[in-house]
Every structure is written in structure tokens, then in C-alpha cells.
């Protein structure tokens, strides 16, 4: 097995793992909701928008790793952008995993 294949598998694993952890964080945030109407009135609709954006970003992250260059390009800029969006909308832990995958891709390109 070549060295680039090993890097590619590690990058895909980190990206998929980061996306799955992002989904888990978003679903745990949704699971804590007991009464939806009361929750929206107290917290506001902005949190609902953040949760929906988090679901989309986690989904894009997983799609990027599973089908590279098909719907979303597999490039280090894409991975670092997804890591930044994951930090904003989901949590820091999955973003770190995606950022490490993006840095691996950047090192491989240099």
C-alpha cells in the first residue's frame, strides 16, 4: 500500500468521524428539548436555525468524505472551511478532527 493511500484513508476517516460526532452533538442538542413551543419562546428561533445549519454542515462533511469530488470537491480549502463552519455551528471537537484532515491534505499537496 502506498503512502498516499494511507494518508487518504486517514483523512477520510477523520473527516467522517468529525461529521458523525457533529451529528451526535446536534442530535443531543435536539434531544434536550422537552417542550418545543416553550423552548422556542425562551431561547428564540436563532437556536433552531443554528441546529439546522449544524445538521447541514455535518451532512456536507460526511458527503465530502464519502464521495470526494462528486458533489463537493475534496480539497484542503474545503476541509478547513468546513472545520471553521463546524466550530461556529456545532462544536470544537469535530472541527479539530476535520481541521487535522485538512492540514494532512495541505501537507500532501506541498
pLDDT in tens, 41-78: 776 777 778 888 999 999 999 988 888 877 778 888 99
pLDDT average, residue stretch 7-35: 86
**Residue whose cell numbers read 469535530:** 94
Mean pLDDT, all residues of the chain: 86
Q: Give the residue, 74 or 100, on which the prediction is more confident.
A: 100
The C-alpha cell of 17 is what? 468521524
pLDDT above 90 covers a percentage of the chain that reads 42
pLDDT higher than 90, residue 107? no
Burial class (CB in 10 A: 0-12, 13-18, 19+), 20: middle
Entry pTM: 0.85
Give the DSSP letter of residue 11. Answer: H
Amino acid at each position: 500500500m502506498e503512502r498516499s493511500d494511507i494518508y487518504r484513508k486517514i483523512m477520510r476517516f477523520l473527516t467522517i468521524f468529525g461529521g458523525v460526532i457533529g451529528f451526535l452533538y446536534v442530535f443531543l442538542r435536539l434531544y434536550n428539548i422537552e417542550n418545543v413551543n416553550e423552548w422556542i419562546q425562551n431561547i428564540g428561533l436563532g437556536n433552531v436555525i443554528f441546529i439546522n445549519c449544524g445538521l447541514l454542515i455535518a451532512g456536507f462533511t460526511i458527503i465530502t468524505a464519502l464521495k470526494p469530488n462528486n458533489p463537493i470537491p475534496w480539497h484542503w480549502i474545503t476541509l478547513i472551511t468546513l472545520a471553521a463552519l463546524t466550530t461556529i455551528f456545532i462544536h470544537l471537537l469535530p472541527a479539530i478532527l476535520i481541521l487535522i484532515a485538512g492540514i494532512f491534505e495541505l501537507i500532501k499537496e506541498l
